[in-house]
Amino acid sequence: MKPTPQPKTHTPYSILHTPCGGFTLVELIVALSVSSVLIVLIFSSFLQLIKVQSKLLAFNHLQSTNNRILTQLKDDIRWGKVQLTPWSDNQLVIDLNDNLITYTWDGTVLTRQSGTQLEKLQPDNVDITEVNFENLTLDSNHFPLIRVLVASKPKSPQQQFLQLENQVTYTTKAPTYEL
């Protein structure tokens, strides 16, 4: 007796495989389209992340520059005798242990002169756009209060939109000061 042939069962159509075992052209095009969109999204997100990081680094550099300048001013003002007369909004003279220290803002460069040593207080890649020294002292019965404003921005043309302004008020701990 011969075995009876079994009828061929029809296998359900698979979306992943053709009857020959490969992918259809439509499936390949859909897969390429989806992967292309994902690659573009990932790449644009990566570029955006790099731009944000660049802005944060520039801002941090401005912040550290302003903080370094203000810390140096704070130390000199706090321990020195601030000469309040004649007063100038772009120059501050401090007597620190018989050593005159002069901070001068000429509109483009902030300098600190101690004796014969002249020091430029800003790095080459930062523009200081404004410096202002303001005398808030009430009278000779009160310690002098000096408000210092420092504003800066990067020299890089791509980051000219960034600008940082710090304003701090200091008082001296020196027992005497000149009014």
Q: What is the pLDDT of residue 41?
A: 96
pLDDT at residue 113 tops 90 = yes
For residue range 63-108, what is the model confidence (pLDDT) as tens digits?
A: 998 899 899 988 888 888 887 767 777 888 888 888 899 999 998 8
CA distances 21 to 7, 13, 27, 129, Å, are 22, 11, 13, 70
| Amino acid at the residue 61 | H
Per-residue pLDDT tens digits for 32-62: 999 999 999 999 999 999 999 988 988 898 8
> Using only C-alpha atoms, what is the Rg of the chain?
35
What is the layout of strands, in order, in the sheet containing 99-105? 81-88, 91-96, 99-105, 110-114, 117-120
pLDDT at 76: 87
**pLDDT value for 160:** 75
Query: What pTM, to 2 d.p., does this model score?
Result: 0.69
- Token digits of residue 43: 């790449």
- Domain assignments of the chain as residue spans, ordered by start: 31-171
Q: What percent of the chain has pLDDT over 70?
A: 83
For residue 106, give both structure tokens. 């000429």
- In this predicted structure, the answer to whether residue 5 has a pLDDT above a threshold of 80 is no
